[in-house]
Amino acid sequence: MRFGLAIPQYGCSLPRHQAITFEVAALWARRAEALGFDSVWLSDHFFYSFGRYGGDPAPIGALEPMTTLAGLAAVTSRVRLGTLVLCAPFRHPSLLAKMATTVDAISGGRFDLGVGAGWLADEFDAFGYRFGDVADRFTSLEETLGVLSALQSGAPATFEGPTVSLRDARLMGAEFVDANLSESTLAEADAQGANFRGADLSRCDLSGTNFRRANLYETDLVDATFRDTIMPDGTTRP
């Protein structure tokens, strides 16, 4: 069994609403590495809000995960670095593939990429992304996986999706090793988009970037459980 740690990246992550900075994230990443954690993880939001849970609806600031992980790669040496998960509609999949291989190169092959469909409507609306329905967002997710699969070999790739086309596209500057990405099994989703079941992104190596098997486990976001946070000094808080 391996253990990973979701490190602070939001304005609500620390006691007394302490400001979240890269230095804070780096402190936690190095601490997790020293304590023997296998991996550290960041999620992906322009901002967060507790409004849907009956809390303060004010937006809460967040660190962008890919640029933050690039920095963490430079201040850690062993711990794996991952996204849990990136929102597929927020980034063009070709650029995402290039970002992933670059972060993986910076980290010496320690990057794990997780990709999801997105769910926080407020941030989609605020930053000009179409939220659509569950089917729309999972179509975007499937297309992103298709582009990643097409680019994984390092050879010129052609791909035709609903919104993205590749014409002899090739990722340069990285060696591609043992690439293999099977088709994703898209999750069932209820009409409201609250419950996601059984999505399976099979393992793949994209230029050394490991797309580990990610199960989008069944979860009801309305009844989300928030576990205690372990602070660097060993104390916990809700």
- For residue range 82-113, list pLDDT tens digits in order: 999 999 999 999 999 999 999 999 999 999 99
- Is residue 60 pLDDT above 80, yes or no? yes
| Range list of H helices, 56-200 | 65-75, 93-106, 121-126, 134-151
Q: How far apart are CA 106 and CA 71, in angstroms?
A: 9
Q: How far apart are CA 213 and CA 196, in angstroms?
A: 16
pLDDT of residue 173: 66
Question: To the nearest whole percent, how much of the chain has pLDDT over 70?
Answer: 72
Q: How far apart are CA 40 and CA 230, in angstroms?
A: 14
Supply the DSSP symbol for 111.
E
pLDDT of residue 150: 94
Question: Which residues, 6+ apart, have CB-to-CB distance to 119 below 8 Å?
Answer: 137, 193, 221
Question: Which residues, 6+ apart, have CB-to-CB distance to 120 below 8 Å?
Answer: 45, 48, 49
- Is residue 223 pLDDT above 60, yes or no? no
Q: φ and ψ at 82, to 5 degrees?
A: -140, 165
Higher-scoring residue by pLDDT: 79, 171: 79
pLDDT of residue 63: 96
pTM exceeding the 0.75 threshold for the entire prediction: no
CB 191 within 8 A of CB 137: no
Average pLDDT taken over every residue of the chain: 78
Q: Are strands 47-48 and 60-61 parallel, antiparallel or unpaired?
A: antiparallel
**Residue 65, CA distances (Å) to 62, 85, 172 in order:** 9, 9, 23
Cα angle: 209, vertex 145, 215; to 5 degrees: 80
Using a CB cutoff of 8 Å and minimum separation of 24, what contacts does 56-65 make?
59/122, 59/126, 60/10, 60/11, 60/12, 61/10, 61/11, 61/20, 62/9, 62/10, 62/11, 62/20, 63/9, 63/10, 63/20, 63/22, 63/25, 65/9
Q: Are strands 165-169 and 157-160 parallel, antiparallel or unpaired?
A: antiparallel
Structure confidence by residue, pLDDT tens digits, 141-162: 999 999 999 998 889 999 999 9
Which residue in the block uniquely carries the two structure tokens 């596209």?
Answer: 169
